[in-house]
Amino acid sequence: MPSETQQDEIPKGEKLYEGKAKVLFQGEEEGTIIQYFKDDATAFNALKKGTITGKGIINNKMTELIMINLERIGIPTHFIKRLNDREQLVQHVEIVPLEVIVRNVIAGSMAKRLGIEEGTPLARPIIEFSLKDDDLGDPLIAEEHVLSLELATDEELSEIFDMTHQINDFLRGLFAGIGIKLIDFKLEYGRIYDEDGIGYRLILADEFSPDNCRLWDIETNKKLDKDRFRHDLGGEVEAYQEVAHRLGITL
Ligand code: UDP
């Protein structure tokens, strides 16, 4: 089990938001936020609740590693630096109210909705959108909804497609290199405004961890992600640790 090292208390501002797996605090510097990663786990729109011991530390460190690597290939992200085991400093963005889902292999809600067996590979990756609204259970929406409901502009949508494909290509390779198939994952993007408050750019926000992706061992198809918790498969702590270990993350 990861041991939590005692670290200096980071001066935090006001609590801005408490989500299911993270708490957001105002950062010391204007325009920054501190993301605190909890061990709390939820599934099925929070109908199932529990904890995965040490998950917050793993998700914090894994998000750091992924964001740094994505920056290296030219994807702008909100990540600034990791502060300690459970906290990272990020840029304050205006979240685009979309869950951007990428699928390489059919699983989860898509398998259920279309009656296709989990594990069936797709001829090409799918990028789909859900409206980010917990009360509605994040309903699946079409690109046309995104535009007509003005959730994002045409230009933003094409940037989202471009960046998301690049991220998928890169991460599939990264995980294949450590014997893991990247089945699907969820991304969120945010707008960061210029000083004039008019111009802005789109950057990757939120997190990347086994909480919001599906990772299967290449040889055995063993699930190494939150599905272990969702479906009471057991061994979720060990699965998260296994992914961290293969990525070379020190806990
Ligand atoms: N996902 C997520 N947050 C959500 C919904 C989905 O992080 O609110 C992730 C999920 O972990 C999986 C991918 O997006 O890696 C596709 O999820 P799916 O639509 O299959 O829904 P699920 O079966 O997780 O309800």
- Residue pLDDT, tens place only, 33-62: 999 999 999 999 899 999 999 999 999 999
Is the shortest distance between the CB of 108 and ligand 1 below 6 Å? Answer: yes
Is residue 112 exposed (0-12), middle (13-18) or buried (19+ Cβ within 10 Å)? exposed
Query: pLDDT tens string for the chain (251 positions)?
Result: 445 655 656 778 899 999 999 999 999 999 999 999 999 999 998 999 999 999 999 999 999 999 999 999 999 999 999 999 999 999 999 999 999 999 999 999 999 999 999 999 999 999 999 999 999 999 999 999 999 999 999 999 999 999 999 999 999 999 999 999 999 999 999 999 998 989 999 999 999 999 999 999 999 999 999 999 999 999 999 999 999 999 999 99
Residue 224, token pair as written in the block: 């190494």
Give the separation between CA 231 and CA 218, rounded to whole angstroms.
Answer: 20
What is the SS3 assignment for 157?
helix
Specify the length of the chain in residues. 251
Is the shortest distance between the CB of 146 and ligand 1 below 6 Å? Answer: no
Give the CA distances from residue 195 to residues 26, 80, 156, 201, 240, in Å, rounded to whole numbers and listed in that order: 19, 19, 20, 12, 40
Backbone angles phi, psi at 234, to 5 degrees: 80, 165
- Ligand 1 mutation target, pool 59, 109, 126, most atoms within 8 A of CB: 109
Residue found by looking up tokens 């390489």 in the block: 104
Is the shortest distance between the CB of 42 and ligand 1 below 6 Å? Answer: no
Residues 6+ apart with CB under 8 A from 176: 182, 218
Residues 6+ apart with CB under 8 A from 42: 20, 21, 48, 49, 50
- Whether pTM > 0.75 for this model: the answer is yes
How high is the pLDDT of residue 11? 73
Is the shortest distance between the CB of 185 and ligand 1 below 6 Å? Answer: yes
DSSP sequence for 53-87: TTHHHHHHHHHHHHHHHHHHTT--BSEEEE-SSSE
Helix (H) or strand (E) holding 194: none
How high is the pLDDT of residue 3? 55
How high is the pLDDT of residue 197? 87
How high is the pLDDT of residue 185? 99
Identify each DSSP E strand in 73-120 by its residue range: 79-82, 87-91, 94-95, 98-105
Give the separation between CA 198 and CA 202, rounded to whole angstroms.
Answer: 13
Domains of the chain: 15-91 (3.30.200.20), 94-234 (3.30.470.20)
Residue with the smallest CA separation from ligand 1 atom 13 is 185
> Measured in angstroms, how far is the CA atom of residue 191 from the centroid of ligand 1?
23
Give the separation between CA 251 and CA 246, rounded to whole angstroms.
Answer: 12
Residue among 225, 211, 226, 208 nearest 164 (CA): 208
